Structure 1
Amino acid sequence: MRRYLLPAFALVFVALLSFGVGLHAGIRKTPVFEFVVKTMRTLKPQKTVEAAPKMHLNMSDRALLDSALLPMHQREIKVTNDEGKPLPLLALAPAGGDEAFILGGNGTLFHLATDTCAAPDCLRQVGRLVRPDGTALDDIYDLLSVEIDGKREWFVSYGQMGDKGFTKALVISRFTPPARPGENDILRIEPPFFTTDSFSLRRGHSARSAGGAMVYDPRTDEIVITVGDYSLNGIGNVFSGSVPPPQSPDTDLGKILRVSRTTGESRIISMGHRNPQGLSISKDGELIATEHGPKGGDEINLIEEGKNYGWPYTSMGTLYNGYTFPEQPATPGAVHGGYTPPIVAFMPNPGLSALIHVEGFHPAWDGDLMVTSLRGQSLLRVRRWETGNYVEPIYIGDRIRDIDIIGKQMVLVTDGGKIIMLKPVENLQMASSDTGLINNLTALEGCGACHNVISPNSTNTAPYLLNIVGRQIASASDFTRYSEGLLAKGAQQWDLESLEQFLRSPQDFAPGTAMPDPELSDSEIAELMTLLPLLR
C-alpha cells in the first residue's frame, strides 16, 4: 500500500505546483505566461475571414423627438443578424453629400444615403473589413474620411496585438471601399501607416480605455487622434517606471496626437488624459474632446497645444471604492490642481462618447456642441458663452456610439444596432397635432413644469411620464415621494380612464397626493388623453 501512496502524493504535489505556477503566471503575466501564449498562437493561429455575415434591416418611423428649441422627425433602421441579435455599430463617417459609411463591431461595412431614406434599402451592406493578414478586425475604435483634391481617403483606428511578445499598440490603417460593393466582399485593410508606442500587457490593461477617436485638420494635413491610457495609470492598474504614462512625454498613452497624413509621423499636443472617447474639430480649427472620468468626472475639454489635463494626478471624480481621489496637484489649492480644467464636467457620469460641433444644421442649434452618451442614452446639447454654459439632455433610449451631420440630417449609431436619423421639423403646426409629441406646443407644456416628459428620469418633485399609459400606479423606481393615497393603488395600472379621473380631481382619486388641481378644461383633458399614450 505504501508503495502506491508515494507516487500518488508526488502526482498531487506536481499538479498543485503546476496549478500555482500557472495561476501566478496568468495573474502577473510572467515570461512563462508569455511563452504559453506565444506557443498557443503558433499552434492555433487565428482563422482568416472567408465571408461577411448576412445582416438584416428593419426600418421604423417614430414619433417626433422633442427638445427645448427644436422638434425633429426621428427615423430608425435596426441592423440584426440571422439570429435576430443587434449588431453594435461603432462609427460613421461622411462620404460626400447625403452619403456615409457605417462600421459595425465585427468589421461589417454599410453605405447609407440619408436624404432618400424612405425604406431600409437606403442602407446597404457593402462588405467586411479584415486585418491585413485576413483575420477578423476586432477592437475597432473609429472611422475617418478625408477629402483631398476631390478624392476620398479612408482610415480606421483599432488595437493591434504584437506578433512577437505580449504587447499591444493603437494603429491607423487605410482602406478602399469597393467600387462595386457586394455584401460578401472581404476588404483587407492596408498595413498600419501609423502605430503608437507599444506597451506590455504583462500587467494587464483595459481595452475599453483606448480612445482612438480621429478628426482631420485640413489646415495642417494632419490626423488628430486620441490615445487612452488603457488603465495603466496606477489607479486602474500598475505601470512600469516612476511616472504614470499619461504624465510621461516618453509614451503615447494618455495623449492626444497629431499624425501626418502622408508620412505617419506623430507628435504629442496634449497630455494627462484617461480615456478620451470623442473628438471634434470646428471649421475654424477648435479642438474639443470628451473624456471618461472614474466614478464621476466625465469631461468636455478644449484641447490646446502643450496643455496638461491632469490625469491621473487630479480628477473631478472619485475612486470607485471610495469618496475621495488621491490628488497630486501641480499647484496646491488651485482649480483642478493647477492643471487645465474641463470646460464642462459631469456628476454622475453620463458615459460621454462622440461629439460634433453643430455647424450648418439648423439656426436653433448651430454653434452648439452635440455630445453623445452611453450610460445616459441621451444627446447632450451644450451651449457655451464666455462665463458659463448649459447642457440640455435629449433622451434617445440607446447607448449612442457616434454622431455626424450627413446631408440635411443628424445621424446617430448605437450599441443596440440602430441608425437614428434626425431631421428638423419645419411645419410646427403639424408638430403640435396629435401625430406629434412637442410638449412646448401642447397641453403637455403644463405637465413639463414638474414632470419629465422626455426621458425615464423623475424630477425631485414628480415621477416621469414616459410610458405612463399601462404602467402600474406609483411604480417609478427612481421616485420615492409617492403619497399614501397613490401607494394604496399600486396594484392598479394607469389607463385613460384612471388618468382622466386623476386629472379632474387629484384629491378625490388619491387623498393626500402632492399633485395640485391642474384646473383643466374638457378640451385640455381630451388633448392630454390623446397625447399621453404617445409618451413612449
Structure 2
Amino acid sequence: MGHLARTLGGLAAGLVAAATAGCSAGSGDTAASGALGPATGEGERDWPFAVEEVGRYDEPWAMAFLPGSGDLLVTERSGVLHLRDAGTGAQVEVSGVPDVVDAGQGGLGDVVPAPTYEQDGTVYLSWVEAGDGGTGAVVGRARLDTGDGEAALEGLEVVWRQVPKVEGDGHFSHRIAFSPDGRHLFVTSGERQQGSPAQDTTNNLGSIVRLTPDGEPAPGNPLEDRGGVSAELWSWGHRNALGLQFAPDGALWETEMGPEGGDELNVVEPGRNYGWPEVSNGSDYGGGEIPDHAEGDGYAAPAAWWDPSISPGSLLVYDGEMFPDWRGDALIGALSGEALVRVDLDGTTAGEQQVFDLGERVRAVDEAPDGAIWLLEDEGSGRLLRLTPAR
C-alpha cells in the first residue's frame, strides 16, 4: 500500500486500526507534519475539561507525583530537576542531579518514584551520558532528601545503560515504568536512529528491557538463557518508544514514533518482535517505502496507528475518579499533533478516539492523586496545565 493510500485510509478509519488489522505507525520527535484539529464536535467550548495553567518551564520533559505528599517532580532536558509543593505551588531546584549530555533529543529524561518511595525516598531517573563510541541513555536511582525548603538527590547510582553507545543525539527513548507488583523495572531503549539494531538481540537498542530494581536482567525474561545484554530484553523491534505504562488490568502499553507516518500504540508482550525497521505503516523519510504490517508476517501489530503522524511523546492509562468515563483509557500527548489524544481501551483492543487540539506540543501527561490530569507542554511554551472536569 502506498503512503498516500495509507494516509487516506487511516483518516477514513478515524485514525484507529484494530490489532487484527496488523497496522502500525510512527513519526520523528521533531516532526512538524500531521498537526490535528479538534475531532468532530470537540471544539474547545465542548471539551469535557477545564484547563488551568499552574506553572512554566524552559525545556520540560517528564513529571511524576510523589506518593504520600502529592508533590510533583519535573525534569528539564538541560539537566534541571524541580520539586513543586502540592499545597502551595512553590518549587525548589533539586541538587545532586547528574551531569547530562544536552543535545538534540538528549538530556535529563524521565523521573519515577520507586515502589518503595514512601519507605526510603528512592526515585529513578533517566538521562544521556557520553562514553566510548558516542552517547547513550542510562537509568539511575537516588534518595530524594527534602527539608528546610531544600531538596537533594543523595547516593545516586547508575543501574542500567544502553549498549552500545553510538554517535548522534536522537531516539534515546528512556521512559521508565514499574510493574504493578513493584518487582520489575521496565525501560524503553530507542534504536538511536540506526534502524537495524532493533532487530539485533545481542544489544539492547530498539527494545524494552525488564530488570530487577537493582538493574539486573529479571529472571524469566525471554532470552534469559543467552545471558549478557540479551537477557535484559522483554520485547524488541521498536523505534522510539516515548510512552510506557501499565493499565489497571495489568497490560503494558507503549506509544512509539514511527518514521514519516505510522505512529503506534502497542500492547507489549514478552518475546514479541514489533517489526522495526522491517515493517511499518509509515514510509521512510524521503518517500522510501517500508512494507506494511500484514497478517502472518511474524511481527506484532499495533493496537492503533496514525498516519499522518501525531508524534506521541508520552502515555497515561487513566485510573482516576475525576473522569470516570475515561478510566482504563489511554491519554497520549501529541508533539507534532499539538493535542491530547484519548483512545478507548477494552482489554488489549483500541477503539474510538477523541482528539483535543491544544495548539501546543504536549510533552508529558500524568495523573494527580486527586484524579486531575496534568500536562506538560514542550519547550517554546513549557506550560504546566491542570485539567479538571468542565462545569
Q: TM-score range by the shorter chain?
A: 0.7 to 0.9
Report what 1:190 is aligned to: 156
Q: Secondary structure at the match of 2:202?
A: coil
Match for 1:175 among 120, 142, 148? 142
> For residues 381-460 of structure 1, what are the structure 2 equivalents within 5 Å?
381-385=342-346, 389-408=351-370, 409-415=372-378, 416-425=381-390, 431=391
Alpha-carbon displacement from aligned partner over 1:432-488 (angstroms, at most 9, x marks no partner): xxxxxxxxxxxxxxxxxxxxxxxxxxxxxxxxxxxxxxxxxxxxxxxxxxxxxxxxx
Tell me, in whole angstroms, the C-alpha distance in 1 between the residues paired with 2:45 and 2:117. Answer: 39
Q: Does 1:252 align with 2:204?
A: yes
Q: How does 1:59-78 map to 2 (within 5 A)?
A: 66=44, 71-78=48-55
Moved runs in structure 1, 4+ residues, more than 6 A? none
In structure 2, what is the Cα distance between the partners aligned to 1:399 and 1:264?
35
Is the CA contact 1:107–1:128 (under 8 Å) kept in the aligned structure 2?
Answer: no
Partner of 2:295: 335
1:137 shift after superposition: 6.3
Letter in 2 for 1:122: G
Higher helix share: 1
- CA distance in structure 2 between the aligned counterparts of 1:67 and 1:214, rounded to whole angstroms: 35
Shift in alpha-carbon separation, 1:136–1:323, aligned structure 2, 3 A: closer
Paired letter, 2:128: G
- C-alpha distance in 1, partners of 2:136/2:174? 11
Residue 311 of structure 1 pairs with residue 283 of structure 2: no
**Structure 2 unaligned blocks of 5 or more:** 1-42, 219-231
1:227 aligns with: 189
Judging by fraction of residues, say which structure has more strand.
2
Displacement of 1:388 after TM fit?
A: 5.5
Partner secondary structure for residue 245 of structure 1: helix
How far did 1:128 drift? 4.1
What TM-score does the superposition give when structure 2 sets the normalisation length?
A: 0.76
Give the deviation of 1:219 after TM superposition. 2.4
| Structure 1 gap ranges (5+) | 1-64, 80-85, 234-243, 426-430, 432-536
Counterpart of 2:63 (choices 92, 109, 113) is 92
Q: Quick one: structure 1 residues 336 and 127, their matched pair in 2 at CA, closer, same or farther if it must change by over 3 Å?
A: farther
Look up the SS of the partner of 1:150 in the other structure. helix
Distance change (3 Å), C-alpha of 1:388 and 1:216: closer
Q: Residue 147 of structure 1 aligns to a residue in which SS?
A: coil
Tell me how far apart the structure 2 counterparts of residues 272 and 304 of structure 1 sit (CA, whole Å): 12
What is the Cα-based RMSD across aligned positions, in Å? 2.6
Structure scoring higher RCO (CA < 8 A, sep ≥ 6) equals 2
- Asked if 1:276 is matched to 2:241, the reply is yes
In 2, Cα distance between equivalents of 1:379 and 1:67: 15
1:344 to 2:304 alignment: yes
> Take 1:315 and 1:67, find their aligned partners in 2: how far apart are those partners?
37
**Would you say the 8 A contact 1:194–1:265 is kept in 2?**
no
- What TM-score comes out, normalization by structure 1 length? 0.56
Whether the 8 Å contact between 2:239 and 2:277 is mirrored in structure 1 is: yes
1:88 deviates by: 1.3
> Does the Cα contact within 8 Å between 1:130 and 1:188 map onto a contact in 2?
no
Partner of 1:518: none
Aligned-partner SS, 1:141? strand
Amino acid at match of 1:155: Y
With over 3 angstroms needed to count, the CA separation of the structure-2 counterparts of 1:145 and 1:402, relative to structure 1, is same
CA distance in 2, matches of 1:310, 1:102: 33
Amino acid at match of 1:413: L
Structure 1 vs Structure 2: percent identity of aligned residues? 25
Contact 1:274 1:293 in 2 (8 A): yes
Equivalent-residue separation in structure 2 for 1:102 and 1:343 (angstroms): 30
Change (3 A) 1:128 1:375: farther
* AA partner of residue 210 (structure 2): R
Match of 1:357 in 2: 317
Go from structure 1 to structure 2 and tell me whether the alpha carbon gap of 1:67 and 1:211 turns closer, same or farther (over 3 Å shift).
farther
The equivalent position to 1:140 in structure 2, one of 92, 97, 108, is 108
Counterpart residue identity of residue 261, structure 1: P
Task: Evaluate the alpha carbon distance shift between residue 106 and residue 336 of structure 1 in structure 2; reply closer, same or farther with a 3 A threshold.
Answer: farther
Secondary structure at 1:353's aligned position in 2? strand
- Structure 2: which amino acid aligns with 1:258? R
**Matched residue count:** 326
Partner of 1:498: none
CA change 1:294–1:155 in 2 (3 A) is same
- The 3-state SS of whatever aligns with 1:391 is strand
Secondary structure, counterpart of 1:224 in structure 2: strand
Q: Is the 8 A contact 1:108 1:129 kept in 2?
A: no
Q: Is the Cα–Cα contact under 8 Å of residues 357 and 368 in structure 1 kept in the other structure?
A: yes
* Per-residue CA distance 1:120-148 (angstroms, 9 max, x = gap): x51312334532xxx45641221111232
Kept after mapping to 2: 8 A contact 1:76/1:418? yes
The answer as to 2:129 corresponding to 1:160 is yes
DSSP 3-state at the match of 1:364: helix
SS of corresponding position for 2:324: coil
Letter in 2 for 1:72: F
How far, CA to CA, are the matches of 1:195 and 1:357 in structure 2?
Answer: 27
Contact 2:101/2:129 (<8 A) preserved: no
2:330 to 351, 358, 369: 369
